[in-house]
């Protein structure tokens, strides 16, 4: 199966201790037939997102080795950070690339869950395409309550983990793993330090929308006993208001299917909603890597001429249109999967 390529994007709850991050990195680099494509370290989030690719057996080995290092070095009892999290290794998704299928990725995720729950005594939930229950398809739904709330949540009948004991590991928390399609983590920054305003915009555009409320501000409950929601503008989009730093609020997003909802769709909509609130979009950032096609589509949208067909030119146009080059220099070879693989393999 050497011609089968799987991407893995583990999220570790550490973005400040350089020694811990280096140890996790070394565990991956020591694994044969795995290419480390990107390390995105977020100090405010206190979170590191790593992107790596390899064949099925190698990518599983790298995921397990790096997770074991994280469990040893990270203590969730002392962890604080802006991003929602529930464990030292928060989530480990497997994504099909070349000649791969979702079924292969699900098999790898299950093997990962078996090993981690048994050898590390960490409860594991399956999500995405690997989910065993409908309410476990969505990662935010599993993560709700975060690390602090899981000591009680994990005891509930509906939240017994798929693998491992129904007891919170007080040091390492719980972990989610699964198979999913390519996800793009993309954030748009605003000229305000008010996270609530960013969350208002997020509610307007995300698929789940916002809760419906009556004139007194109470939730409107439907016939099924659940709160009613006003759907958001886009499909296949998760979004929430976060802080980029102390002075900058952001709309933090996961584009679950960039062929349905792409960079330019959310950027232009956020610009419009921000203007209604008297705000401006000042920059954006890509967390991890994304496919070339996502950039080419944005480039075609922002391109003023039908004569430009060069991939390099379209990518450059997309970078400028999306304001990806404002915070720092944006290097396509480090952020586009196809180009990064070529670069790393020489």
State the catalytic residues. Answer: 83
3-state secondary structure of 70: helix
Q: How far apart are CA 325 and CA 319, in angstroms?
A: 6
Q: Which two tokens stand for residue 264?
A: 């330019």
Residue 341: alpha-carbon gap to chain centroid: 20
Q: Spell out the residues 6+ positions from residue 225 whose beta carbon is closer than 8 angstroms to its own.
A: none
What is the distance between the alpha carbons of residues 21 and 27, in angstroms, rounded to a whole number? Answer: 10
Residue 31 DSSP class: S
- CA dist., res. 205 & res. 203, Å (int): 6
Q: Which residue has the tokens 């693998």?
A: 163
Residue 52 structure tokens? 């790596």
Query: With contact defined as beta carbons under 8 Å apart, do 96 and 179 qualify?
Result: yes
User: How many helices (H) does the chain have, and how many strands (E)?
Assistant: 10, 13
Q: How far is CA 14 from the centre of its chain?
A: 15
Residue 39 bridge partners (DSSP): 50
| Cα 166–Cα 167–Cα 169 angle in degrees, nearest 5 | 135
- 178 forms beta bridges with 93, 127
Q: Which residues pair with 65 in a beta bridge?
A: none
* Helix/strand/coil for 92: strand
Quick one: how far is CA 24 from the chain centroid? 18
Comparing C-alpha atoms, which of 107, 96, 123, 87 is closest to residue 3? Answer: 96
SS3 of 153, please? helix
In the block, tokens 């709309």 appear at 251
């Amino acid at each position: 199966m050497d011609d089968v390529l799987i991407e893995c994007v583990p999220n570790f709850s550490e973005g400040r201790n350089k020694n811990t991050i280096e140890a996790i990195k070394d565990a991956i680099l020591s694994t044969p037939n795995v290419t480390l494509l990107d390390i995105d370290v977020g100090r405010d989030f206190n979170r590191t997102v790593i992107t790596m690719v390899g064949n099925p057996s190698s990518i599983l080995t790298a995921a397990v080795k790096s997770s074991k290092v994280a469990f040893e070095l990270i203590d969730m009892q002392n962890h604080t950070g802006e991003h929602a999290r529930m464990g030292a290794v928060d989530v480990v998704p497997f994504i099909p690339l070349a000649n791969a299928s979702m079924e292969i990725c699900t098999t790898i995720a299950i093997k990962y869950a078996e090993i981690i729950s048994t050898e590390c005594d960490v409860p594991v939930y399956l999500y995405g395409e690997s989910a065993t229950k409908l309410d476990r398809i969505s990662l935010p739904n599993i993560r709700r309550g975060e690390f602090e709330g899981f000591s009680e949540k994990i005891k509930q009948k509906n939240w017994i983990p798929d693998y491992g004991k129904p007891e919170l590991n007080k040091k390492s928390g719980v972990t989610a793993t699964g198979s999913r399609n390519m996800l793009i983590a993309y954030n748009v920054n605003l000229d305000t330090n008010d996270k609530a305003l960013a969350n208002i915009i997020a509610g307007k555009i995300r698929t789940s929308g916002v809760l419906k409320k009556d004139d007194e501000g109470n939730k409107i409950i439907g016939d099924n006993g659940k709160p009613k929601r006003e759907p958001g503008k886009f499909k296949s989009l998760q979004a929430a208001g976060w802080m980029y730093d102390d002075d900058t609020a952001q709309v933090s997003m996961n584009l679950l299917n960039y062929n349905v909802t792409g960079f330019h769709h959310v950027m232009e909509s956020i610009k419009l909603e921000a203007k209604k609130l008297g705000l401006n979009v000042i920059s954006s950032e890509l967390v991890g890597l994304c496919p070339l096609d996502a950039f080419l589509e944005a480039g075609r949208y922002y391109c003023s001429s039908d004569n430009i067909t060069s991939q390099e030119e379209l990518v450059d146009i997309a970078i400028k249109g999306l304001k990806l080059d404002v915070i720092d220099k944006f290097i396509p070879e480090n952020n586009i999967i196809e180009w990064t693989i070529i670069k790393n393999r020489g």
